[in-house]
Structure 1
Amino acid sequence: MTSPAFVTGGQRTVLQLSLMVNFFLLMALYSGVLGVLLPNQIAALDPGNKANNLALMFAITSIFSTLATPIAGALSDRTRGPWGRRAPWIAIGSLIGSISLFGVSWMTSFWSMMVLWVMAAIAYNSMQPAMTTLIADRFTPETRGSVSGIVGAGMTAGLTAGTFVAGHLAGQQMLAYGLFAAAIAASCLAFVLINREPSSAALPARRFDWGDFARGFWISPREHPDFAWAFLSRFTIYMGYQAVAAYLLYILRDYIRLSDDASNVAIANMAMVTFVCLVVTSLASGWLSDRMQRRKPFVIAGSLIMGCAMVAPLAAPNMSGMWVYAAVIGVGYGMFMSIDMALMTQVLPKSELGEEGKDLGVLTTAVNIPQIISPVMAAVLLSLSGGDYRTIFCAAVLFVFGSALCVLPIKSVR
């Protein structure tokens, strides 16, 4: 199957910036909702069980997200129509997700929140692989480092901005949820109108067989070892990162001993420190990576720096340690995220069937699965240690350092 033509000139710049804005808003939504709004809402409903309920929310949501991502990616590969293969998933997914997300703000019970947030997560995770695959569809391999750097800067900036906005709007629940929902829906609709994808109507339709469709999600580590190592690297780094990020609000309250109001402000201000560090690092890393035509050194360095960041609160269990964490995690995470996406597009199995969406969807599960396991792991560690948050930081350091080791065996990318 022939891929859509690679973009050049002004069209390339517009698509690049549009992807950055979309991923900025999507990551802002994830960080604001998962890191601040849902934890506050859950804590208000049942303060005594907040950690366990938060872990349960993340685990159930991530199960559905993990299934939705590769399936949606595979179905987008098969989509035929005048709007292309990816655009319908981006537009429809953003609308369904945003309606469901705004509904969460009206809920007054844990399980009603769960249902609507799961619906939102499925919709958003159905559009995300379509957006990611556009990097493989529309940009040449030689330019994907700078593209990944710009998009990565948007993603990492979004993670910070979302936390900042949600932290300051935590007391205005409906406004906060509504702002995130409206922003991503409007951005995605504008995206598909401005960046018209080539029609896929003339592409040959593929025969659908349930057995072949299901078997297609298995990518043999023996036949594609680089893909397997990239998957494992992503999985381990997010196991460590999510363990801390998911409980950051509770860490500020129960480990650093801040009040509820002070912790909401602190998490927002920490996000601004992270923001400055990660934007500079993301853009610089993407430019250097393309200039040097190297991906692995940047991903490895980012992983090691993130591990160092997580040592800071262990050495200094106070706000000074948290400020160091906020700055250093921005440097490491910015470097990792800016190049990780480019590396992922270059380890995909070669296929004549145009299965990039499915393969990138499988790689995205390396982010979603830790969202299932990591909060549960953290809750178990807290339970076994009597609420000692140092155990979470120790586990996170091991996982993040392990990610750097998983990148080393990759041979097809320098």
Structure 2
Amino acid sequence: MSAQNVNAGSPSEWTGKTSNDDQPHFPTRIAIGLAIGAFCWIVAYLGAVAVLLPARVAEIDSVDKAAIIALNSTISMVVATIANLIIGAFSDLTRSRFGRRTPWIWVGAIGSLVSLFYLGRVTTATGLIATWAIYQIFLNAIIAPLIATIADRIAPRYRGSAASAYALGVGVGAGLGQVIGAQFIGDISFGFIILGVLTVISAPAASFCFRELSSLPMPKKTFSRKMVLDHFVFARHDARDYYLALFGKFFIMVAKFSVQGYILYILTDYLLLERSEAGRYISITATIIMIAGIAMAFVSGPIADKLGRIKLPVVLASLLIAVGVFLPYFAPNPTMIILYSVFAGLGLGIFNAVDQALNIAVLPDPETSAKDLGILNFAATGGQIAGPLLAAAAITTVGYHALFLVSGCTAIIGAILFMMIRRVR
């Protein structure tokens, strides 16, 4: 029995799942809530991390600003990863008349507003790093329940489209985040408040669009060794496809960040462009990737749902990314960088639109969906760290040619791992 039919039968039968029979029509309201929620958290996050936070660091300590940013990024990444997992687990265990996910989104939204408010007023580097780490905790209290809502409330036949709605919100928010942040570079404190207000919108949007039913009828979990292992530790049973998806995503993220993380140096040291010209090409490639991402968010999920295939578009996306990151290997000229952004942009757009639907399809246990999706997020975090490290090793030992060869191979490995998944077509 699904969340949609919780009042139709015995409360003890409700598992929090939604089947195809339970949902004959596409849940437009929930999809809109997913898009709004995704937009709200990422537009504020990118406006802060890319514009206002560095500006605030420069105000606090202009001499050591680079070191402060590096330390802050490392700490925040660790905190965000742990928070995503733990909050996801507590969300799975939450029993309230407001549901499992909505209360956490409200906590995250309000906590993010308060954190961003204080970020505009801290006067020391230590205070800034601590406040930003706290902000990461509240931010993930929005992200983890939002993604888990797809697993809870969307039937398998519509998960591609719902994941696309979430990806569309991410794509639009990512494109506007830095633009909005830049408007407040002259008044950083007020800019943080505006970003906090944008984040808060995710909470009423979730309440209105999701209309999550009470989770009180769900059986409560008693504290035990098994409960801790099930809800706070890596999946242990029926998890073959789950781990193939995790490592497949990891290798795709490595391919993505190994090139993106060094795009400036690729343009100046490999293509031998002047810094001003390199800046122009960075803007061009970023625009192409953003437009491709938004366009693919509109079409990839619905097409995947219509075909009844989620794995196929993820594999196709991985191969497009492989082609894109490999193309500059052939010639050090700007044309190859443009082609890279086209192929990789299309691939990343499809991947971001459908990846969450694949992740949900391979979850070992629907009762621990938020926690298991949080663990899958390790792949994105790990790839963001490992990509630049692998790129540095390739460039240092062989040269830039090796970077593109290695990046292409990692994307192909990701495609192979996705193809090995058995549970999903």
Moved more, 399-408 or 307-316: 307-316
Residues 106, 316 of structure 1: CA spacing in aligned structure 2 closer, same or farther, 3 A cutoff?
A: farther
Amino acid of the structure 2 residue aligned with 1:213: V
Aligned twin of 1:3: 15
The question of 1:154 aligning with 2:169 is answered yes
Aligned twin of 1:349: 364
Aligned twin of 2:411: 400
Distance, in Å, in 1 between the alignment partners of 2:330 and 2:55 is 28
The within-5 A match list for 1:174-189 is 174-189=189-204
Residues 319, 25 of structure 1: CA spacing in aligned structure 2 closer, same or farther, 3 A cutoff?
A: farther
Q: Residue by residue, what CA displacement relative to the aligned partner does 1:138-169 show, whole Å, maximum 9, x if unpaired?
A: 11111111212222222233223324444666
Q: Residue by residue, what CA displacement relative to the aligned partner does 1:90-117 show, whole Å, maximum 9, x if unpaired?
A: 1101221232234334445543332121
In the superposition, the TM-score normalised over structure 2's length comes to 0.81
The question of 1:90 aligning with 2:102 is answered no
Residues 233, 182 of structure 1: CA spacing in aligned structure 2 closer, same or farther, 3 A cutoff?
A: same
The within-5 A match list for 1:30-109 is 30-38=45-53, 45=61, 50=66, 54-107=69-122, 109=124
What SS does the aligned partner of 2:99 have?
A: coil
What SS does the aligned partner of 2:257 have?
A: helix
The question of 1:411 aligning with 2:422 is answered yes
Cα pair 1:31 1:160 within 8 Å, conserved: no
Residues 304, 395 of structure 1: CA spacing in aligned structure 2 closer, same or farther, 3 A cutoff?
A: same
- State the percentage of identical aligned residues: 27
1:136 to 141, 151, 163: 151
Cα pair 1:164 1:269 within 8 Å, conserved: no
Distance, in Å, in 1 between the alignment partners of 2:105 and 2:78 is 21
In the superposition, the TM-score normalised over structure 1's length comes to 0.83
- The CA RMSD over aligned residues, in Å, is 3.6
2:374 to 361, 365, 381: 361
Distance, in Å, in 2 between the alignment partners of 1:365 and 1:381 is 22
Shift of 1:247: 5.9
Cα pair 1:59 1:371 within 8 Å, conserved: no
Amino acid of the structure 2 residue aligned with 1:258: R
1:242 to 257, 270, 294: 257
1:125 to 140, 147, 157: 140
Q: Residue by residue, what CA displacement relative to the aligned partner does 1:273-326 show, whole Å, maximum 9, x if unpaired?
A: 333222222222112111111112211121222233334566676766554444
Unaligned runs of 5+ in 2: 1-12
Amino acid of the structure 2 residue aligned with 1:408: M
What SS does the aligned partner of 2:421 have?
A: coil
Could you say which structure has the larger radius of gyration? Answer: 2
Moved more, 302-311 or 18-27: 302-311
Shift of 1:19: 0.5
Distance, in Å, in 2 between the alignment partners of 1:266 and 1:163 is 18
What SS does the aligned partner of 1:62 have?
A: helix
Cα pair 1:143 1:290 within 8 Å, conserved: yes
The within-5 A match list for 1:379-390 is 381=393, 384=396
Shift of 1:361: 1.9
What SS does the aligned partner of 1:100 have?
A: helix
Distance, in Å, in 1 between the alignment partners of 2:285 and 2:121 is 28
2:235 to 194, 214, 219: 219
How many residue pairs end up in the alignment?
A: 406
Cα pair 1:69 1:365 within 8 Å, conserved: no
